[in-house]
Chain A
């Protein structure tokens, strides 16, 4: 796994990434097949979101605090805020019209 913005955050990042990855690997395939009903899906998603929180929530909080500080130190704060303001991207882009231009 790649390094973090600052070497100080790299150990936290690596720990967080492996926590997320092992959760994600268990999450994805059942999530794909759990599409029987939206009720079933919601139940599964809720359980898994809680499991992620309990497994990775703590390390995420430490890593995020570290990386937020690093983002500031690298002078990326304003650029990131500006990009977020211009395009928050809170919803998947498939909800918007396709941006593929006519060929």
Chain B
């Protein structure tokens, strides 16, 4: 099993980060994410919690040995479930791979919560694990490749989202107030 985690703080309020979340793609830093679709969405009329189920389509060229062994293709799909809870100011996002899922699972959990000073803390964890007993060295290699791709994409995702938030809110502040955003 490969385990990954990172956290960082965004210089924007929780509400602004969560609004920005829906504007993350397309993103030049994350050009591997090509399609984003909402397949289910509910707004709980009692709690106000919004649950969204999306499918993200990614283009990732897999090494030839993966394609040969596991039949992967250039297209990889991910299922993502998010909960936005305004009462606790918590956003959680869970993702799982759909492609290659008979061989390996990549389970990602993200959380956005308010941090002191009107900022927002982002925490991300992921577990990557081959699913069943198979030829051990192939399983290890597959897991290693998935983990490496995940880490690369996680870094790019952070940089890409920082840009989105900056563009969305710094420009909005300048338009509204005629002054640059205070830092």
Least CB distance from A103 to B in Å reads: 9
Q: Which 3 A-B pairs have the closest CB atoms?
A: A31-B86, A45-B48, A92-B83
Name the residue of chain A whose CB is nearest to the CB of B123: A100
Binding site for B on A (CB under 8 A): 1-5, 9, 13, 16-17, 20-21, 24-25, 27-29, 31-32, 34-35, 41-42, 44-46, 48-50, 52, 60, 63-64, 67-68, 70-71, 74, 76, 79-80, 82-84, 87, 89-94, 99-101
Check: B64 CB closer than 8 A to any chain A CB.
no
Q: Are A83 and B101 in contact (CB under 8 A)?
A: yes
Can you report 26 A-B residue pairs in the complex whose CB atoms are below 8 A from each other?
A1-B26, A2-B25, A2-B35, A2-B36, A3-B36, A13-B38, A16-B38, A20-B38, A24-B19, A32-B14, A35-B86, A35-B87, A41-B87, A42-B45, A45-B43, A45-B44, A45-B47, A49-B43, A68-B39, A71-B37, A74-B77, A76-B55, A80-B55, A94-B92, A99-B125, A101-B3
Least CB distance from A7 to B in Å reads: 10
B47 partner residues in chain A, CB cutoff 8 A: 41-42, 45
Q: Are A3 and B90 in contact (CB under 8 A)?
A: no
B49 partner residues in chain A, CB cutoff 8 A: 92
Size of B's binding interface in residues, CB under 8 A: 51
Q: Are A60 and B41 in contact (CB under 8 A)?
A: yes
Least CB distance from A38 to B in Å reads: 8
Check: B128 CB closer than 8 A to any chain A CB.
no
The B interface is mostly helix, strand or loop, or mixed, namely strand
Check: B98 CB closer than 8 A to any chain A CB.
yes
Not counting A4-B37, A71-B39, a sample of 18 additional A-B residue pairs whose C-beta atoms are within 8 angstroms of each other reads A1-B36, A17-B22, A20-B22, A21-B22, A28-B19, A45-B44, A46-B45, A50-B45, A71-B37, A79-B77, A83-B96, A83-B101, A84-B79, A89-B81, A90-B51, A92-B49, A92-B83, A93-B92
